Structure 1
Amino acid sequence: MSNTVDLTDKILVVGGGRMGSAIIEGWLKQGVSPASIYLIDNNRDALKVYSDKGLHTFESVENVPQGLEFKVFLLALKPQIIVKHLAQFNRLISPSTCLVSVAAGVMVQTLLDMLPNVNHVVRVMPNTPAMIGKGVSVGFSESRSLFETLIETLFASLGKFYWVSNEEEMHAVTAVSGSGPAYLFYFAQCFIEAAQSLDLEAEFAKELALNTLIGAARLIEESGIDVETLRQNVTSPNGTTQAGLEALMSNNEVKERVEACCVAARKRSIELA
C-alpha cells in the first residue's frame, strides 16, 4: 500500500460534528476533492451543507453503496457512541483501509476488537484550534511506517502534527493538547472578569484582556524566546508587573492547580479506555 495520499482516493468520514467538520474543512482547503469524501451523519442540516459542497452524504451506513473501497476511514464519533454503534461500519472496511480515530480514550485494541475487518489503526488526538488551522494533533500507530506520510499530509492543514511511540502517552496528550484549549479559555474568562472588576467599561475590558492574551501568545510563537525569559523581560523590579505576579504566584497555588488539572484529565482518559 502506498504511504502517500492521492487527493482523489476515497475517504469515509463517520461523524460531522465540530472535529469531523474541522478536519473535512481542512482537507477541502488542502485540495482534497469533495467528490472523494463520503460523510455519514444523522444531522440532516450538516449533511445538506456538505452535500452542497460536493461531498457524498448519507444518514446511515445502510445508505452507503456496496463495493466502495476507502483508503481512509476517519472515525469522529464520541466514545460513548462508538461503543454502541461501531460494529455496523465493519462492512465498509477493506484490508487496505487505514482507520483514523480521533475519539478520546478509545484504545487501538478496542477498535480492532469491534471492527474485525480492520488491519491498520491510527489514533489521532486533535484539538479545537484545528478549526482555524492552528491545531495540535498527535498520532499513534503500530503501522506508523506504512501511513506516516499519508497521515501527516492529511492533517497538515490543521496545524502542528506530532507522533508518540507508546499508546499510553496518548492519555497525557489528551490531558495537555486535547483538553488544553478549554483550560486557556477558562483563564481568559477569569482574566476578562478581573478586568471588568477594575471599573473599566465591560466591552472595553473584554477586548483589552483578550487582545493582551492573543498578543502574548503570538509573541511566544514568533519570538523564539522561552516563556520564563519572556516573563522576566517584562517584569521590572518593584514595578506593577512584579506586584501582580507576586499575587498570582503566591504559594505556587496556580502552578499546583494547573498540574492538578492535567493529572485529572489524564486520569479520566485512562478511565474511559
Structure 2
Amino acid sequence: MPDLMPRSLVLIGAGKMGGAMLEGWLRIGIDPAGISLIDPKPSDEIIELAGAEGLRLNPSAKDIAPAEVLVLATKPQMLDTAAGAVQAFIHSNTLLISILAGKTLGDLAARLPNAGAIIRAMPNLPAAVQRGVTAAVMGNGVSAAQRAAADRLLASIGKVEWLDDEALIDAVTAVSGSGPAYVFYLVECLAAAGVEAGLPADAAERLARATVEGAGEMLFQSPLAPGTLRQNVTSPGGTTAAALEVLMAADGMLPLMHKAVAAAKRRAGELSG
C-alpha cells in the first residue's frame, strides 16, 4: 500500500524498540532516503545500518524535508529535556507517534505544542522479532489518512490494537506490555516442575521452552479461541485433565493472574500519574 508510506519520517531514539521499528519499516519498503534518525549515542549496529541503507543519522531539522511522521522512542524521562530539540522537527502537518511509557496525550501536547496530531502507542518486547502487539490511541486532530499511515508503520512489528479510550492504556501495560515476562516465567516454572518430576535440568528447560514456543505458534496460526485449543488437547480423565484440575481450581491460575495484572495496572497508574 505505497500511498500509506510516509516519504519523510523522523525517528527520535534508536534504542531496542526504536531499532526494531526501524527494521520493520525497511522491511515493508519505506524508502531509506526519507528516514532520518536522531540519537545522541547511536549503537554500532545503528551506525552500520544507517551507512548500509543510506539513512540520515543525526541531521539538523533544517537539513531534511518536513517530517510527515515523527516517531518518539526515547526514554520517557528524557521528554522534558529533549522537548525543545524535538519541536524543531515537528511541522503543521506532522503526525507524532509516541511510544513513551507513562506519557499521556496531554503530557505530549503540553510539552510539544507544535504537534497538532498525536498518537500514543505501546508496543511490547516481541516487536524485536516482528511478533509484537501494539496498542494505540489517537488524540484530537489525527486524520483518517494519518491513522492509516500509523497503522501501517506499527503493523510492521506485529499486530495493532486500536483503543477508543486512553484510560485503557494502563490495562494494556499490565496485559501485553508486561505479559511477555509472565510467559517467560511460566517457562521457568514449567522447567522447575519438570526437574522436580525427575528430568535433568537442561532437558526440562528445553522441553518447557519448546512447548511454549509451539503453543504460541498454534495460537498465532489458528483461528480457534484459546479455550477451544485447550479443550482440543484435553482428553477426559487423561493426564492434561489432571493437571488442569489443579490449574483451574478456585485458588489456581485465574485468580493469581487477576492479582498479577491488577498489580501491574496499579503500578502503571502510579508511574504515569
TM (norm. structure 1) is 0.89
- Alignment match, 2:108: 111
Cα distance in structure 1, aligned partners of 2:101 and 2:199: 40
- Alignment match, 2:99: 102
Selected match of 1:29 from 22, 27, 30? 27
The one-letter amino acid paired with 2:166 is E
Query: What's the offset of the Cα at 1:231?
Result: 2.2
The one-letter amino acid paired with 1:134 is R
1:148-202 CA-to-partner distances (Å, cap 9, x unmatched) read 2111111222121121111112221222122211111111122122223333233
- Alignment match, 1:270: 269
Matches within 5 A, 1:66-215: 66=62, 68=64, 69-142=66-139, 143=142, 145-215=144-214
Cα distance in structure 1, aligned partners of 2:110 and 2:3: 27
Cα distance in structure 2, aligned partners of 1:247 and 1:110: 45
Cα distance in structure 1, aligned partners of 2:8 and 2:86: 16
Cα distance in structure 2, aligned partners of 1:219 and 1:5: 31
The one-letter amino acid paired with 2:226 is V
Cα distance in structure 2, aligned partners of 1:195 and 1:83: 49
Unaligned runs of 5+ in 1: none
Quick check: 169-178 or 190-199, which moved more?
190-199
Cα distance in structure 1, aligned partners of 2:192 and 2:122: 31
The one-letter amino acid paired with 1:117 is N
> Contact 1:106 / 1:272 at 8 angstroms: preserved in 2?
no
Query: What's the offset of the Cα at 1:17?
Result: 1.1
Per the alignment, in what secondary structure is the counterpart of residue 96 of structure 1?
coil
TM (norm. structure 2) is 0.89
Selected match of 2:37 from 36, 39, 47? 39
Query: What's the offset of the Cα at 1:36?
Result: 1.4
1:80-126 CA-to-partner distances (Å, cap 9, x unmatched) read 22234323311111111111001112101111110121111011111
Cα distance in structure 2, aligned partners of 1:144 and 1:206: 48
- Alignment match, 1:56: 56
Query: What's the offset of the Cα at 1:221?
Result: 3.1
Cα distance in structure 2, aligned partners of 1:244 and 1:265: 27
Cα distance in structure 2, aligned partners of 1:115 and 1:197: 55
Cα distance in structure 2, aligned partners of 1:187 and 1:48: 37
Cα distance in structure 2, aligned partners of 1:242 and 1:47: 49
Identity of aligned residues (%): 36
Alpha carbons of 1:48 and 1:67: their partners in 2 closer, same or farther (altered >3 Å)? closer
Alpha carbons of 1:249 and 1:37: their partners in 2 closer, same or farther (altered >3 Å)? same
The one-letter amino acid paired with 1:64 is S
1:14 and 2:12 matched: yes
Query: What's the offset of the Cα at 1:132?
Result: 1.7
Alpha carbons of 1:252 and 1:4: their partners in 2 closer, same or farther (altered >3 Å)? farther
> Contact 2:246 / 2:252 at 8 angstroms: preserved in 1?
no
Tell me how large the CA RMSD over aligned residues is: 2.1
Query: What's the offset of the Cα at 1:46?
Result: 4.3
Runs of 4+ residues deviating >6 angstroms: none
> Contact 1:234 / 1:241 at 8 angstroms: preserved in 2?
yes
- Alignment match, 1:233: 232
Cα distance in structure 2, aligned partners of 1:188 and 1:43: 35
Q: How many residues matched?
A: 266
